[in-house]
A and B are shown apart, each in its own frame.
Chain A
Amino acid sequence: MIGNVIAFRRFEPGGSIFGEEWVGLRYVRMFLSDPTFWQVFRNTLWMGGLTLVFCFPIPIVLALLLNEVRRRSLKRFVQSVSYLPHFLSIVIVAGITMQMLASDGPVNHVLGWLGHEPIRFIQEPEWFRTIYVGSEIWQTAGWGTILYLAALTTIDEDLYEAARIDGANRWQQIWHVTLPGIRPTMVTLLILNIGTFMAVGFEKVLLLYNPLTYPTADVISTYVYRAGVESNSFSYAAAIGLFEAIIGLVLITSANQLSRRAVGTSLW
């Protein structure tokens, strides 16, 4: 039984067990000289960066706001509603996103009020990143607050009391008591986020993009998918995939090391 279990989780190195012969770094050289690779590499960095900049801090802000709510019923209601998108299939989220941005959808409706021409969001490369990050925030921000809210409840009331006696106002209390209180959680989640930096939301991109938006939307993982599964260049695609995974591993390991030295919190 254990043997089976481990077999299902086993890491399969770049397909070489199925290959005919060793070709060394041929495929690596091949993708390094492929202009499309560099384009999807840049796109990946862009989208990973934007996701990190927006999707990491928003749950923190939302959790702090929720924490200030005094009416328990209101707090619970906001929480329940904001968790909801997390439970939907990513296909549904993509479907809703496309409906909202359709030429007869609400977003273009509002643009119409403002006297703006309708925009074909889904077909425009310059809109893709905004759409992606926006729908990512919609889907994940609420659920992301859970861990912060849990951390917030563990902060000792006496610390606030002491801060008030020392004359700290609300902002100073948040800055000097609340934020340090949730710092371990913040650091842990930041490290995890950095670890998934390269992976970007593969499934979501695959659902939202189309050949018209490839110039900005195509990321490493979707390129790997098309090269490998659609065009059958398995070894080539696997080489790129491995490259991506290694960068991810290096990122998370170095983030972990850095945070252990800097703030004394680390995953392992």
Chain B
Amino acid sequence: MVKPSRSYRVFQGVNGVVLTLVVLVTLYPFTNILARSFSGERQIRAGEVTLLPKGFNLTTYKIVFQDEMFWRNYGNTVLYTVVATAVAMVLTTCYAYVLSKKHLKGRGVLVGIAVFTMFFTGGLIPNYILVTSLGLKNSVWAIALPNAISVFNLLVMKAFFENLPADLEEAAQIDGLSTYGILLRIVLPLSKAVVATMVLFYSVSFWNSWFSAFLYMDQTDLMPVTVYLRNLIQGATGGGNAGAGTEQLSQVGANIQSVTIVLTALPILCVYPFVQRYFVSGVMLGAVKG
């Protein structure tokens, strides 16, 4: 091993500093928002809040916790995520499984149709007209169906199924299992890893999505919490200020956005440390294929 030169050690030092800066720049907004959400109005307005809360105050949290609409929207997010992920998993698994069969006639065309949509989509307006004319507006299906198959996830799953040993399925066929039996009893139990990754991919993307709901839902009580937050930051609604006194109102006005951001981001931040590596490995799966 060559002894590290002086300039290389200097470089290592500089590199450490640069990466520390990257970490700080990434994390600072989070800590600042968190600090703001617990701070008093005067300190926020004066721009004194940086890393730690100043003038500790929980009024806004109490107000948001009492806001019925916030909880209803949060419930909607959970509902939409569960339904849409379930639909997406069923459809993606079926499509991917079929595509993984090399003897399928027209397989290339079916793959092509899917891949083509990666580069050329129907566009916002035709989609909107389609969903509206199917009568899906104001229902969970407007969110679940148009996004039911992510082509990326489809290709990852297809690649995974293709790598399963074909002998197993043949053996199962000889033992008298039907096609669905093979899929449910042989293929899926062997694919737990990829299925778990896909569930994560879909649920995070549905949890975070806002635009389909914003586009297809007309009533506020049908909105997911992301749209609640969107209306708040756009100033379209005053947020949960029902029943608040005047001195409370100014406190709420100062940090309701921070509080809502914290509450909306919290579930993702909580599961993030545990699911991160599945995401990375999922992307790798796709990359090897693509």
Give the contact stretch, choosing among B7-15, B59-67, B170-178, B237-245.
Answer: B7-15
Q: Which of A10, A88, A237, A244 has the most CB of B within 10 A?
A: A88
Q: Do residues B94 and A5 form an inter-chain contact, with CB atoms below 8 A? A: yes
In the bound complex, how far is the Cα of B74 from the Cα of A57, in angstroms?
38
**B127 (CB) vs chain A CBs: closest residue:** A12
Task: Tell me the smallest distance from the CB of B217 to a CB of chain A, in Å.
Answer: 13
**B47 contacts partner chain A, Cβ-Cβ < 8 Å:** yes
**B252 contacts partner chain A, Cβ-Cβ < 8 Å:** no
Interface residues of A in 19-67 (CB under 8 A from B): 62, 65-66
**A219 contacts partner chain B, Cβ-Cβ < 8 Å:** no
**B189 contacts partner chain A, Cβ-Cβ < 8 Å:** no
Q: What is the predominant secondary structure among interface residues of chain B facing chain A?
A: helix
Q: Which residues of A contact B287 (CB under 8 A)?
A: 147, 150, 185
In the bound complex, how far is the Cα of B272 from the Cα of A234, in angstroms?
40
In the bound complex, how far is the Cα of B91 from the Cα of A164, in angstroms?
52
Task: Please tell me the size bucket of the interface on B.
Answer: 35 or more
Q: Do residues A91 and B226 form an inter-chain contact, with CB atoms below 8 A? A: yes
Q: Do residues B280 and A228 form an inter-chain contact, with CB atoms below 8 A? A: no
Give the contact stretch, choosing among B24-32, B158-166, B190-198.
Answer: B24-32
**B144 (CB) vs chain A CBs: closest residue:** A8
Q: Do residues B125 and A95 form an inter-chain contact, with CB atoms below 8 A? A: no
**B113 contacts partner chain A, Cβ-Cβ < 8 Å:** yes
**A252 contacts partner chain B, Cβ-Cβ < 8 Å:** yes
Q: Do residues B26 and A96 form an inter-chain contact, with CB atoms below 8 A? A: no
Across the interface, A15 reaches (CB within 8 A) one of B45, B129, B146, namely B129
Task: Tell me the smallest distance from the CB of A72 to a CB of chain B, in Å.
Answer: 13
**A172 contacts partner chain B, Cβ-Cβ < 8 Å:** no
Q: Do residues B280 and A164 form an inter-chain contact, with CB atoms below 8 A? A: no
In the bound complex, how far is the Cα of B284 from the Cα of A81, in angstroms?
19
Interface residues of A in 54-107 (CB under 8 A from B): 62, 65-66, 68-70, 74, 77-78, 80-85, 87-92, 94-96, 98-100, 104-106
Across the interface, A4 reaches (CB within 8 A) one of B91, B126, B207, B279, namely B91
Q: Do residues A92 and B265 form an inter-chain contact, with CB atoms below 8 A? A: yes
Q: Do residues A8 and B124 form an inter-chain contact, with CB atoms below 8 A? A: no
Q: Do residues B19 and A245 form an inter-chain contact, with CB atoms below 8 A? A: no
Q: Do residues A104 and B46 form an inter-chain contact, with CB atoms below 8 A? A: yes
**B95 contacts partner chain A, Cβ-Cβ < 8 Å:** yes
**B268 (CB) vs chain A CBs: closest residue:** A87
Q: Do residues A248 and B44 form an inter-chain contact, with CB atoms below 8 A? A: no
Across the interface, B125 reaches (CB within 8 A) one of A66, A94, A188, A241, namely A241
Q: Which residues of B contact A248 (CB under 8 A)?
A: 119-120
Q: Which residues of A contact B32 (CB under 8 A)?
A: 99-100, 105-106
Q: Which residues of B contact A10 (CB under 8 A)?
A: 122
Across the interface, A89 reaches (CB within 8 A) one of B30, B226, B276, namely B226
**A109 contacts partner chain B, Cβ-Cβ < 8 Å:** yes
A80-B116 contact, Cβ under 8 Å, with A8-B149, A89-B207, A245-B121: no
Q: Do residues A104 and B273 form an inter-chain contact, with CB atoms below 8 A? A: no
**B85 contacts partner chain A, Cβ-Cβ < 8 Å:** no
Q: Which residues of B contact A62 (CB under 8 A)?
A: 22
A241-B91 contact, Cβ under 8 Å, with A89-B209, A95-B229: no
Q: Do residues A99 and B23 form an inter-chain contact, with CB atoms below 8 A? A: no
**B33 contacts partner chain A, Cβ-Cβ < 8 Å:** yes
Q: Do residues B257 and A95 form an inter-chain contact, with CB atoms below 8 A? A: yes
Q: Which residues of B contact A156 (CB under 8 A)?
A: none
**B27 (CB) vs chain A CBs: closest residue:** A81
Q: Do residues A68 and B15 form an inter-chain contact, with CB atoms below 8 A? A: yes
Q: Which residues of B contact A8 (CB under 8 A)?
A: 91, 145-146, 148-149
Q: Do residues A245 and B123 form an inter-chain contact, with CB atoms below 8 A? A: yes
Task: Tell me the smallest distance from the CB of B81 to a CB of chain A, in Å.
Answer: 12
Q: Which residues of B contact A206 (CB under 8 A)?
A: 211
Q: Do residues B95 and A2 form an inter-chain contact, with CB atoms below 8 A? A: yes
Q: Do residues B215 and A68 form an inter-chain contact, with CB atoms below 8 A? A: no
**B50 contacts partner chain A, Cβ-Cβ < 8 Å:** yes
Additional pairs, 19, CB under 8 Å, beyond known A12-B129, A88-B208, A248-B120: A2-B95, A5-B95, A12-B126, A13-B122, A13-B126, A14-B126, A15-B126, A18-B129, A65-B19, A69-B19, A74-B16, A74-B19, A84-B269, A92-B208, A95-B257, A96-B261, A99-B258, A100-B32, A104-B44
Provide a sorted-by-A list of 17 A–B residue pairs whose CB atoms are within 8 angstroms: A9-B151, A10-B122, A15-B125, A68-B12, A82-B22, A90-B208, A91-B264, A95-B232, A95-B233, A108-B47, A109-B50, A147-B287, A207-B233, A210-B234, A228-B125, A228-B128, A241-B124
Give me the 4 closest cross-chain CB pairs, A-B, nearest first: A89-B208, A241-B123, A12-B126, A238-B125
A interface with B by C-beta (< 8 Å)? 1-2, 4-6, 8-15, 18, 62, 65-66, 68-70, 74, 77-78, 80-85, 87-92, 94-96, 98-100, 104-106, 108-109, 112, 138, 142, 146-147, 150, 164, 170, 185, 188, 195, 203, 206-207, 210, 221, 224-225, 228-229, 234, 237-238, 241-242, 244-245, 248-249, 252, 267
